[in-house]
Homo-oligomer: A and B are copies of this chain.
Amino acid sequence: MSVKKIFLNEEDIPRQWYNIAADLPTPMQPPVGPDGNPITPEMLSPVFPANLIEQEVSRQRWIDIPTEILEILKIWRPTPLIRAYNLEKHLKTPARIYFKDESVSPPGSHKPNTAVAQAWYNKKFGIKKLTTETGAGQWGSALAFACSLIGGIECKVYMVRISFDQKPFRKAMMQVWGANCVASPSKETNAGRAILKKMPDTPGSLGIAISEAIEEAVTDKSGKTRYSLGSVLNHVLLHQTIIGLEAKKQLKMAGEKGVDVVAACAGGGSNFGGLAFPFVLDKINGEKIDIIPVESATCPKMTRGPFAYDFGDTAQMTPLLPMFTLGHAYVPPPIHAGGLRYHGMAPLVSQCIVEGLVAPRAYNQLKCYESALLWARVEGSICAPETSHAIACVIEEALKAKEEGKEKVILFNYSGHGLLDLGGYEKYLSGKLTDYSLSENELCDSLKVIKDFPKAKKHKSGKW
């Protein structure tokens, strides 16, 4: 029998995170204020603890992972690298397809990799309570899980009201782990009360929930509350690189000398960056690899948006970040891959695009569900709607390898399972899902909000 799952021993969990900021050909541009002046670490300190701000701005290549964090990661790490033999056989491709299974964490996705680290650093800094927002609930449950396992640190989640009402199970999950999950807008913050006064029946939005979470953190007079973000920022992507570092070791164990294609879905960028950055380093060092962040065609910031300074959030509470964006006010129509509905792309991933190191691609949801269904029927597992975007890309690449008659090695990130997203599958199976294309006019409209912002510098090569 051929080996399907490649496991590392627990002692082989990487002991350091990889910081790609150390290796990018052009240095990262700093976050700035609306006046164009760089944001200093001190200005971030009411929001994040100093130790995480230090990671956010660090250019040190390798950063040690504290032992206490490793002890908690051990609950589900190292995650297996699995060979998708059945899909290969079904597609009759000469490609060898591997996936890194991040769905095995208790909250069901890659999110806890950074949630555990963030909770630990906050606790170490003396913080007693973390606030955050959550849309569909993946991030909120990851942080709830992390705080529960770390112990001694409270977790407060502002959950977008419509999800709070429609997805009671994600809320229950957070409560099981002891978090306090409230519907946003809530009566607990000025921001929430102001919105409720104007629109008592609002379904809420991620932007509002972010405002509430940040407000609670910065207004706590004890100074013991901070805010936590699940993607986009440098330190978040840093914590996720454990995925790609493990995958590299495992590919070697599988007898592979290299990899030809690396793909992952990208909403805010942490799932993609986590898998891809260690391979981007290889590419910087001269290896030939196609590295593909996959987005939803409904929210096509990487394939159709400009590289520009924009707010990280709808509520305009963050600094301006240099990134591919559709404008911070862009609200994509509802798709089931809630994690891919974010308007911008992490600055680190955006910079990789600018440098030509990674090449984004966009897919519509019907194609993605079709791929997910094929996957479930031949490989057995039901993936998250976000993950289905990576699978659609992998199928395309595997068929291309077949056409070219090449024995390519394809690696992708199986970022989460779909067991709490079966409603989307139900709609797809009953023919109730449709696709959506953003028109050029809508795109132009959506970008108006950023036209007066300071400009992000394009790559010196002039390609972008």
Contact = CB atoms under 8 A, between A and B. Distances in A.
Interface of A: 1, 3-5, 7, 9-11, 67, 70-71, 74-76, 86, 104, 106, 108, 145, 148-149, 168-169, 171-173, 175-178, 373, 376-382, 419-420, 422-423, 425-426, 429
A421 B175 CA distance: 14
Nearest to A429: B175
A423 B382 contact: no
Contact of A172 (B71, B177, B422): B422
B419 A419 contact: yes
B429 A172 contact: yes
A425 B108 contact: no
Contact of A426 (B104, B169, B377): B169
Contacts of A1: 10-11, 67, 70-71, 74
Contacts of A5: 10, 74
A382 B173 contact: yes
10 contacts: A3-B10, A76-B380, A86-B149, A148-B377, A149-B378, A169-B426, A176-B382, A176-B429, A177-B377, A419-B420
Instruction: Please give me the 10 A-B residue pairs with the lowest Cβ-Cβ distance, nearest first.
Output: A169-B422, A172-B426, A172-B422, A106-B381, A106-B380, A419-B419, A75-B380, A4-B74, A148-B377, A176-B376
Nearest to A108: B419
A148 B377 CA distance: 6
Nearest to A80: B7
Interface centre among A106, A171, A373, A422 (most CB of B within 10 A): A422
A91 B376 CA distance: 40
A81 B13 CA distance: 18
Interface centre among A1, A168, A176 (most CB of B within 10 A): A176
A373 B176 contact: yes
A178 B420 contact: no
Contacts of A3: 9-11
B173 A422 contact: yes
Interface centre among A7, A168, A172, A382 (most CB of B within 10 A): A172
Contacts of A106: 376, 380-382
Nearest to A11: B1
Contacts of A74: 1, 4-5
A177 B379 CA distance: 10
A423 to B, nearest CB: 7
A158 to B, nearest CB: 19
A3 B11 CA distance: 8
A419 B420 CA distance: 7
A149 to B, nearest CB: 6
A372 to B, nearest CB: 8
Contacts of A145: 380
A92 to B, nearest CB: 15
A106 B420 CA distance: 13
Given A1-B71, A108-B419, A377 B173 contact: no
Nearest to A145: B380
Interface centre among A3, A86, A382, A425 (most CB of B within 10 A): A382
A380 B149 contact: yes
Contacts of A67: 1
A3 B108 CA distance: 22
Contacts of A10: 1, 3-5
A378 B71 CA distance: 13
B178 A423 contact: no
Given A3-B9, A171-B426, A172-B426, 19 more contacts: A1-B11, A1-B67, A1-B74, A3-B11, A4-B10, A75-B379, A106-B381, A108-B419, A149-B380, A168-B422, A169-B422, A169-B423, A172-B425, A173-B382, A175-B426, A176-B377, A176-B382, A178-B377, A419-B419
